[in-house]
A = this chain, B = another copy of it.
Amino acid sequence: MKLEKLVGERFKERPSDCVVDSHALMVRGGYMKYVANGIFSSYMPLKRITRKIENILREEMDAIDGQEVSFPVVMPASIWQESGRYDSIGKELVRFNDRSGSPVVLGMTHEEAAVQLVREYGQTYMKYPFMIYQIQTKFRDEARPRSGLIRVREFTMKDAYSFHTSQEDLEQYYAKCHKAYERIFARAGIPEVISIASDSGMMGGSISHEFMLLTDIGEDSIVICNQCDYRANMEATPNVVDYVRTAESKALEKVATPGKQTIEEVSAFLGVEAKDTCKAVVYQQNKDDKYVVLFLRGDYDVNETKLTNYLGCDVHPATITDDCGLVAGFIGPVGITDNCTVLYDNTLKGVNNLVCGANENEYHMTGLDFDRDLPSAEFHDFAKVKEGSICPKCGKHALTVSRGIEVGNIFQLGTKYTKSMNMTYTDSEGNILNPIMGCYGIGVGRLAASICEAHHDDYGPIWPIAIAPWQVHICAVRADDSEVKAYADNLYNTLTEKGIEVIYDDRNVSAGVMFSDADLLGVPFRVVVSPRNMKGGIVEIASRDKSLKTSATLDTAVDEITALVKNAFQQN
**Which of these, B47, B75, B139, contacts A74 with CB under 8 Å?**
B139
Question: Considering the chains assembled together, what is the distance between the CA atoms of A8 and B65 in angstroms?
Answer: 15
Decide if the interface of chain A is mainly helix, strand, loop or mixed. Answer: mixed
| Chain B CB within 8 A of A265 CB | no
Nearest Cβ on chain B to A316's Cβ, whole angstroms: 15
Contact of A102 among B8, B36, B51, B106 (CB under 8 A): B36
Give the distance to chain B from A446, nearest Cβ to Cβ, in Å: 15
Contact in complex: A99, B141 (CB < 8 Å): yes
User: At the interface, yes or no: A387 with Cβ under 8 Å from chain B?
Assistant: no
Contact of A136 among B75, B76, B137 (CB under 8 A): B137
- Binary per-residue interface labels of chain A (77-100) against chain B in the complex, 1 for a CB within 8 Å, 0 otherwise: 001000000000001101010111
Are B141 and A35 neighbours in the complex by a CB distance under 8 Å? Answer: no
Residues of B within 8 Å of A113, CB to CB, are 35, 41
Hey, which chain B residues are within 8 Å of A44, CB to CB? Answer: 67-69, 132
Q: Which residues of B contact A230 (CB under 8 A)?
A: none
Query: Which residue of chain B has its CB nearest to the CB of A138?
Result: B73
Q: Which residues of the other chain, B, contact A68 by a CB distance below 8 angstroms?
A: 44, 47-48, 51
User: What B residues does A75 contact at CB under 8 A?
Assistant: 35-36, 39
Q: How far is the CB of A345 from chain B (nearest CB, A)?
A: 32
Considering the chains assembled together, what is the distance between the CA atoms of A130 and B69 in angstroms?
34
Chain B residues with CB under 8 Å of A243's CB are none
Chain B interface: which of A115-123, A352-360, A529-537, A562-570? A115-123
In the complex, whether A154 has a CB less than 8 A from a CB of chain B is: yes
**Which residues of B have CB within 8 Å of A9?**
120-121
Q: Is A37 an interface residue (CB 8 A)?
A: yes
- A33 at interface (Cβ–Cβ under 8 A)? yes
Say if the beta carbon of A341 comes within 8 Å of chain B.
no
A181 to B: closest C-beta gap in Å: 22
Asked if B73 contacts A7 (CB within 8 A), the reply is no
The reply to whether A72 and B40 contact each other, CB–CB distance below 8 Å, is yes
Q: Is the CB of B99 within 8 A of A96?
A: no
A5 and B65 within 8 A (CB): yes
- CB–CB B70/A42 < 8 A: yes
Chain B's nearest CB lies how many Å from the CB of A163? 9
A69–B47 Cα gap in the complex (Å)? 6
Q: Which of B41, B104, B116 contacts A70 (CB 8 A)?
A: B41
Q: Which residue of B lies closest to A126 (CB)?
A: B4
A244 touches B (CB below 8 Å) = no
A151 within 8 A of B: no
Bound-state Cα–Cα, A137 to B107, Å: 12
CB-CB nearest in chain B for A39: B72
Q: What residues of chain B lie closer than 8 Å to A132, measured between beta carbons?
A: 7, 44
In the bound assembly, the distance between CA atoms of A9 and B119 in angstroms comes to 11
Shortest Cβ distance from residue A54 to the other chain B in the assembled complex, whole angstroms: 11
Residue A515 interfacial (CB < 8 Å): no
> A75-B35, A99-B143, A113-B35 are known contacts. Are A67 and B7 too (CB-CB below 8 A)?
yes
- Interchain CB contact under 8 A, A74 and B39: yes
A265 to chain B, nearest CB (A): 36
CB of A154 within 8 A of CB of B72, answer: yes
A6 interface hit (Cβ, 8 Å)? yes
CB distance from A329 to the nearest CB of B (A): 33
Contact B96 A130 (CB under 8 A): no
Which listed residue, B6, B39, B41, B94, touches A117 by the CB 8 Å rule?
A: B41
A37 near B100 with CB under 8 A, answer yes
* Complex CA–CA separation, A68 to B69 (angstroms): 23
Separation of A67 and B48 alpha carbons in the complex (Å): 10
- Closest B residue by C-beta to A71: B41
CB-CB under 8 A for A98 and B5, given A41-B116, A72-B35, A117-B33? no
Q: Is the CB of B96 within 8 A of A94?
A: yes
Query: Shortest beta-carbon distance, A115 to chain B, in Å?
Result: 11
Q: How far is the CB of A76 from chain B (nearest CB, A)?
A: 4
A146 to B92, CA, bound (A): 31
Q: Which residue of B lies closest to A96 (CB)?
A: B96
Q: Is the beta-carbon distance between A130 and B5 smaller than 8 angstroms?
A: yes
A70 surroundings in chain B (CB, below 8 A)? 41-42, 47
A459 contacts partner chain B, Cβ-Cβ < 8 Å: no
A98:B102 contact, CB within 8 angstroms: no
Q: Which residues of B contact A153 (CB under 8 A)?
A: 74, 98
CA distance A68 to B9 in the complex (A): 16
Separation in Å of the A459 CB from the closest CB of chain B? 22
Pairwise interchain contact A35-B5, C-beta atoms closer than 8 A: no
Q: Is A43 an interface residue (CB 8 A)?
A: yes
A69 with B36, Cβ < 8 A, contacts A41-B113, A136-B137 known:
no
Write the nearest CB–CB distance from A541 to chain B, whole angstroms: 27
In the complex, the answer to whether B41 meets A139 with C-beta atoms within 8 Å is no
Query: Beyond the given A35-B113, A73-B139, could you list 16 further A-B residue pairs with CB under 8 A, ordered by the A residue number?
Result: A5-B67, A8-B121, A9-B120, A33-B116, A36-B74, A36-B75, A36-B104, A37-B102, A39-B74, A73-B137, A73-B154, A74-B106, A94-B96, A94-B99, A98-B153, A136-B137
The chain A residues found within 8 Å of chain B, CB to CB, are: 5-9, 33, 35-37, 39-44, 47-48, 51, 65, 67-76, 79, 91-92, 94, 96, 98-100, 102, 104, 106, 113, 116-118, 120-121, 127, 130, 132, 136-137, 139, 141, 143, 153-154
Can you report 14 residue pairs joining A to B where beta carbons are below 8 Å apart?
Answer: A5-B65, A5-B130, A6-B67, A36-B102, A39-B72, A40-B72, A41-B69, A43-B67, A47-B70, A72-B154, A73-B73, A73-B139, A94-B96, A98-B153
